Structure 1
Amino acid sequence: MKNIFKFYILSVILLSDFTMFAQPGDDDGGGGLEGGDPAPAPINSKLILLLIVGLSFAFYKLKLNSKKV
């Protein structure tokens, strides 16, 4: 019973996320899917730095775990 209650609470929290952040729609019936979107931000300039930081963090965590065992 306790596990079912935990599952129910978790599913309510995860599924209520969709309704909490939903944007109100237009009542004109036109859809409004085209227009007004800003240009996407480029990520190419910092991709190498992100790769280096990610690899160094992974190496650090592996080294830390190998010392514990």
Structure 2
Amino acid sequence: MKNILKFALLAFIMLYDFTAFAQPGDDDGGGGVEDVDPQPAPINSKLILLLVVGLIFAYYSFKKNRKHV
């Protein structure tokens, strides 16, 4: 019984997330309140920094989880 309750709660939370962030449909064919879409955010300005931080984190995790023989 506990497993079914946990599964139902997890399914509800995951499915609620989709509906909470969904964009509403437009019935009139217009763009909603604003007719212009905002410019997309650039993602390429910090990719090198993200790569360096990821490599440092990977090195730290491998070093931490390495078994000493």
| Residue 60 of structure 2: aligned partner | 60
Tell me how large the CA RMSD over aligned residues is: 2.6
Number of matched residues? Answer: 67
Cα 1:25–1:45 change in 2 (3 A) is: closer
What is the TM-score when the length of structure 1 is the normalising length?
Answer: 0.71
Cα 1:15–1:68 change in 2 (3 A) is: farther
| Residue 8 of structure 2: aligned partner | 8
Q: Tell me the secondary structure at the aligned position of residue 44 of structure 1.
A: coil
Higher helix share: 1
| Residue 37 of structure 1: aligned partner | 37
- The worse-fitting range, judged by mean Cα deviation, of 17-26 and 1-10 is 17-26
* Cα drift, residue 66 of structure 1: 0.9
Q: Share of identical aligned residues, percent? A: 70
* Cα drift, residue 31 of structure 1: 5.6
- The worse-fitting range, judged by mean Cα deviation, of 55-64 and 37-46 is 37-46
| Residue 48 of structure 2: aligned partner | 48
Runs of 5+ in structure 2 lacking a partner?
none
